[in-house]
Structure 1
Amino acid sequence: MNVSITGLTKEYGKKKALDAITMQLEGNKIYGLLGRNGAGKTTLMQILAGQVMPDGGEVLIGGQKPFENQAITESICLINESENFKKGMKIGDIFKFAGYFYPNWSLETAEKLLEEFSLDKKMKVKSLSKGMESALGITVGLASRSPITIFDEPYIGLDAAARSRFYDLLLEEYEVQERTFILSTHLIDEVSRLLEEVLIVSDGKLLMQKNADELREESFIVNGPRSDVSAFTAGKNVIHRKAFGSMEQAVLYGESKSDARKAGLNVEHVPVQELMVYLTEKTKGGVSA
């Protein structure tokens, strides 16, 4: 199910949460939606899920607008950081509701994941710890088998082992039934191995949409004597620079690793999380058009 977004705008008072965003998302891919707090990620996801109406522009999912369109919204599952379920509901009741709403709902998957996360259908949401509630959200999101499944910081309260298991389960489900996953997270380096395409949002604008492998190949760190690094980076797209003594380190985007190696510089991988931070700095860095 393809997503087409054209000139998307949303304002809250004088704050422009989304500012003329345009992007195309192909079906059956795992996307990472990245950005700092307040960048507009949550608003974008809520609009995609048909929960919020945009002020301008257009969103088409499978050729249709999602807002107040059940034929589309039942094909989208958005799991938020919290408050996904009413506190008085039992897990079993949530599964029944999900079965009515999501056409591809897999009770078998849901029950398997309950066991995985040591949950029970008789438990009420209000009795769950933060981590258990996150595990329930993950369970519903994966078991929905929705053509578009969106996770907005879904792991709050989960320890590192449980988060790692979530990533494995997501890949397992993706192999069973391909669909579009959109992951918004601040633990970027943890999920970077999953991502096929990266979307970076800054101040309500789409800063970048890039194939994840290409992004890793086109961004790198060079280390060496300050004079050598300065000579190599002259005229190039440097998004971060740091000097220590006679040595210097520079982070480049959209340049050639082989040229850096030919210049005798040490070339290192730059983590996606660091790259996002550098690209969204207001006073430094940026992406060449």
Structure 2
Amino acid sequence: MLRLSQSVPLLAITSALVSGCYLDHGADGPTPRDAGTVDARTTPIGPDASLLWDAGSAPDAGLTCAPTRADFVCLESIVVPAATPFTLPLAFDTCGCCAQTECAVVDVTRDSRTVRLVTTLCPDPCDCDACNTPIAQCEIPGLPAGEWLVEVNGAPAMVLPVASPHHTNGRTCVDFAEDDECTRGREVLEGRPMRPSRACVRRGFGGESHDELDLVEECGTCDRESTCEVRVVPRLTDDLPPGSDLHVTANRYLGACDGVCPPVCIENTRTCPLPSLPPGDVNRVFVDGEPILTFTSGESEVVCSD
């Protein structure tokens, strides 16, 4: 898994839903390729709003490429201000040179507090050695306060808290729940906590300055991956050098059609994207409230717990 996490300001509203392709990498910096603009079409919010669609076919939302489900999102704060339009930067777990992406709001349902999105990942027109994370900028209308279920390409992905504008919750990355055709709804996101036997932090693929967290279960199961949330809390104590505490909640769930897991012990690794961290900071990782690892952000070596 690549997981090149990038932390993007939540309220940085952008009107371009197709990411630019960079062809010129000269001294003046990259020049965006003229790829055009695709506008998201948002259905009005209301109790009657309800639109179901087949994840295998693109809805009539002005999208030009085949649907490809995004994998994770990194935000300056996981809490969204109520009644304020915002942008969700939905990232894909892959490398790209100047890959183009699209995102559209298919439906917003007030009674179930659900936002349904569709993302696409177009064929990369460029040929280079760069490893950039494709990100689809999804423009979302202002939502009433509460917890909103975000569905991406027909499957539950994450729960997004919407609260008063002054409420924030720190930089956060959320790895989306794995799709399951037999299980749909919020129960997919709840799951049960993963109990890793060890953890490792490593640099992002391609030499990027972002870190990834691998959680390893020595005796894994056949459960499916639910969300993995990593929240950064600045550390105010003097017992360690400057840095932050990373609170990780990684869940798993049993799909409705999966049945009972066979009694086989297989090592399982879950990769979670980490928010951007200042190089040289000393950070502690807590999984389900328990400390498991201390590392220095930006180091090239893999750091693992005992």
TM range (shorter): under 0.3
Q: Return the structure number with greater strand share.
A: 2
TM-score using structure 1 length = 0.25
Larger Rg belongs to: 1
Q: Return the structure number with greater helix share.
A: 1
